[in-house]
Structure 1
């Protein structure tokens, strides 16, 4: 019934739990803080190891014949594109007398339109003087090219208009000749022809005058455009401040590293699917969280709180072990050292009632290679565990990490308390642990959560797990004996419909 309930809750869960994601990313703050610090250091190092080359800037006012108040900046972007051509670069190199190729020179300068008519040119060089000279040559070459294009456009337009005027003048000459030949004739037909010719002569004369005026006007605006295109800010070297540049690059590197670290942490959290919240860990393991122990000691107050939590946990587990007729084991997942410390504390609390033997099933040296102190319980492992007397209280300590020999866990204890580090095991592996323990018929009394998230406010209690939970042990024993108070705590809906005999069988 517990498995089915867990499956239903998992099926109804959203694909992405934002609360779990935020908690998991926050727990990986070492990763994204390290990435942010690395980005800060790289940004500062780039400013020192790759300093900015000497740079010069110049500003050019560009007048266009097609200027409009609502121009979106198309004309100035065209000027920027024209500046990045081999023709302008070649003219600037010729004025400098440099043998450099225009294609190579184009890699050392750029331009940006500040307004619809203001162009800023930025040039780099081997020194400030060279950068200033290059900026001046580029600005002069661009102004000269722009003026040439304005003149060529005006001359082409004027020439086209004058050609039209000359053609009209040829037609007018033919009309005048026809009028002279027709004036000697008489009659109504001749008079009509003369009237038509006079009308054509008047129209041609008007059109010739119009083309002459338009040709003159085509050149009138050219001087104004030429005068309006000029260098308004002479080339000057840009002063670079190394501390300011280093601070700027370091800030940029810090932000980029932080963003990259957060992205990596978020993606890793989603891909790994490692439950962190006590709610998710309890649901995946099918057992309630009965206690928590912080992993990092911190300051004095924090160490005192951890010590108090360990004492409460030891007392609770000691009561459970005393009241259980079956041996109890501690099985760890991702916290072998924490499980060994809890086992030693628990054995010390039980030592006053009789000898206690810890059966070491951990794969590491946490218990096997520790130096025993006076008064410490006996620790045995391997074949020596079979020789332990039944009069001695047994406390098994093992692991449910990948590679565990599942069939050996029942020799550590027929009941177990799982000691799990939050965020260590994936959801799939937690399901595997619960399934393997169920196959071995080892009920899980509860889960001790190591290194929990301090901001976790979720409930780690499974209300449908009373048959194995600590809070249900006394009631279970009372039911078996037919005595004891009736249970008054809240039950799941399915438990109210199942008879007591069937529920105990489950």
Structure 2
């Protein structure tokens, strides 16, 4: 029995790579910073252009006959809802002598329960005076309505108790009348009836006295509630500071704008699927990142760092061109201007050894419109590339952006270095570039990553791929010959023993 070796299945890729997401959102800081600034300005503008209307506030102490220490605020919430009724609003408008619509007036005020017995009324108006008058009228209307309801409740309770008392008095009069009809010389058999009548009279007398006391307590409870319900803080206007209001609204706008900006940046990152990290770009292109070139900055120390990186990149590319027996090209994706400058730097370094020519196939005038100086290499168009001398060094400069004529790239060079801007192309387009270059039999020496993330610590080297880093790379003919030989020589699979005796 024979078996073949099977490749290990790669680990399942996560649905969302948090590291790439964070890096991409950070690179889009212009978007969310702009939205945060827009929210800040919008909040300040709202505070200045749309100021809050004049407002007045008053506080009312509300006493309830059912007040208990364990009350969870049900009574004060009931008072708030009672305040927002047409009955109290109508009484307040009547006391003000205003003909405003009740429904419109109810939208201009609100009640808030501060504690179980303290109610705050906030009212807006066209002016400070109107707001104060409205707040005072509402507070007085609420107190009057609350007091009247408590009095009506007490009167109804007292009346019910007195009605029961009057009924028992009538029954007591009937019992007394029956007792008066009994003769003093009654026989012993009627003594039980006499005793029951006297017991009933005593019970009715006690209950009548109890109902009298309860009726008096019901009447005395209402004055206590009436005296406890009063206006604690007279209606007064609310002073508002424009700078403080503007600062508060600006802070709210800043937070909201920042949140919206971050959400849009994250959503755009997930939808666009544009690799930013070295690891992802090298994996999608199938080539290792051999050099990086940071974005040009206006700060002095970063200028020096960028210039040093540019010199190192030029040295690396010059070494590659000199060590290659086939023409080498530079193909850009999202950084045509930077690629043209890199090509000029490499051409100047090669011109010191002999004639060098740049073949311009860029879609724009980044290279052809450059004013040549002394020591610069010659620049020719893509149509004149075939007329160049075979011994003359040439560097093709082209593009792999959407719309590229893929069959023309082979005339720029059979070996290429891709200059890719981080976060410019989508993962699908990077796959397309790698597939098209492979179809045209153009070997990708490596990738130069432009504008990388400064906090990227991922590895951009494909250690397990056919095209690894530059160390130990052989030329294309030798590699093709090795691959051809590997394809011609069959490899027998290892035979697995069937039983223990065969193993021995």
Figure out how many residues of one structure are paired with residues of the other and give that number.
485
Cα distance, 1:300–1:8 mapped onto 2, change above 3 Å = farther
User: CA separation in 2, counterparts of 1:227 and 1:94?
Assistant: 24
1:92 — aligned with what?
A: 92
Instruction: After superposition, give the CA deviation of every residue in 1:280-306 in whole Å (9 maximum; x if it has no partner).
Output: 211222211111111132212211111
2:34 — aligned with what?
A: 34
1:292 and 2:292 are equivalent in the alignment: yes
Question: What is the CA-CA distance between 1:202 and the residue it aligns to?
Answer: 3.0
User: CA separation in 2, counterparts of 1:165 and 1:375?
Assistant: 124
User: CA separation in 1, counterparts of 2:345 and 2:459?
Assistant: 27
1:166 and 2:185 are equivalent in the alignment: no
Cα distance, 1:502–1:431 mapped onto 2, change above 3 Å = same
1:76 — aligned with what?
A: 76
Question: What is the CA-CA distance between 1:420 and the residue it aligns to?
Answer: 1.0
1:485 — aligned with what?
A: none
* Greater mean deviation of Cα atoms: 216-225 or 311-320: 216-225
* Greater mean deviation of Cα atoms: 415-424 or 400-409: 400-409
User: CA separation in 2, counterparts of 1:398 and 1:63?
Assistant: 86
Kindly report the root-mean-square deviation, in angstroms, between the aligned alpha carbons of the 2 structures.
2.8
Cα distance, 1:72–1:79 mapped onto 2, change above 3 Å = same
Cα distance, 1:328–1:206 mapped onto 2, change above 3 Å = same
* Aligned-partner SS, 1:12: coil
* Aligned-partner SS, 2:58: strand
Cα distance, 1:41–1:103 mapped onto 2, change above 3 Å = same
2:415 — aligned with what?
A: 415
Question: What is the CA-CA distance between 1:361 and the residue it aligns to?
Answer: 2.3
Question: What is the CA-CA distance between 1:261 and the residue it aligns to?
Answer: 1.3
Cα distance, 1:481–1:312 mapped onto 2, change above 3 Å = farther
* Aligned-partner SS, 1:321: helix
1:121 — aligned with what?
A: 121
For residues 172-321 of structure 1, what are the structure 2 equivalents within 5 Å?
172-181=172-181, 186=186, 190-321=190-321
Instruction: After superposition, give the CA deviation of every residue in 1:462-499 in whole Å (9 maximum; x if it has no partner).
Output: 112353532232598999999xxxxxxxxxxxxxxx99
For residues 61-72 of structure 1, what are the structure 2 equivalents within 5 Å?
61-72=61-72
8 Å CA contact 1:320–1:470 kept in 2: the answer is no
User: CA separation in 2, counterparts of 1:499 and 1:201?
Assistant: 128
1:367 and 2:367 are equivalent in the alignment: yes
8 Å CA contact 1:288–1:465 kept in 2: the answer is no
* Greater mean deviation of Cα atoms: 13-22 or 141-150: 13-22
Cα distance, 1:353–1:173 mapped onto 2, change above 3 Å = same
1:392 and 2:392 are equivalent in the alignment: yes
Cα distance, 1:136–1:504 mapped onto 2, change above 3 Å = farther
User: CA separation in 1, counterparts of 2:412 and 2:398?
Assistant: 7
Instruction: After superposition, give the CA deviation of every residue in 1:60-83 in whole Å (9 maximum; x if it has no partner).
Output: 111111222222222222222211
* Aligned-partner SS, 1:110: strand
8 Å CA contact 2:113–2:119 kept in 1: the answer is yes
8 Å CA contact 2:355–2:393 kept in 1: the answer is yes
Q: TM-score, normalised by structure 1?
A: 0.88
Q: TM-score, normalised by structure 2?
A: 0.89
Question: What is the CA-CA distance between 1:106 and the residue it aligns to?
Answer: 1.3
2:454 — aligned with what?
A: 454
Question: What is the CA-CA distance between 1:412 and the residue it aligns to?
Answer: 1.9
Q: 5+ unaligned residues in a row in structure 2: which ranges?
A: 1-5, 491-504
8 Å CA contact 1:466–1:472 kept in 2: the answer is no
1:51 and 2:54 are equivalent in the alignment: no
8 Å CA contact 2:275–2:425 kept in 1: the answer is yes
Question: What is the CA-CA distance between 1:270 and the residue it aligns to?
Answer: 2.0
Cα distance, 1:504–1:130 mapped onto 2, change above 3 Å = farther
Question: What is the CA-CA distance between 1:92 and the residue it aligns to?
Answer: 0.9
Question: What is the CA-CA distance between 1:371 and the residue it aligns to?
Answer: 3.1
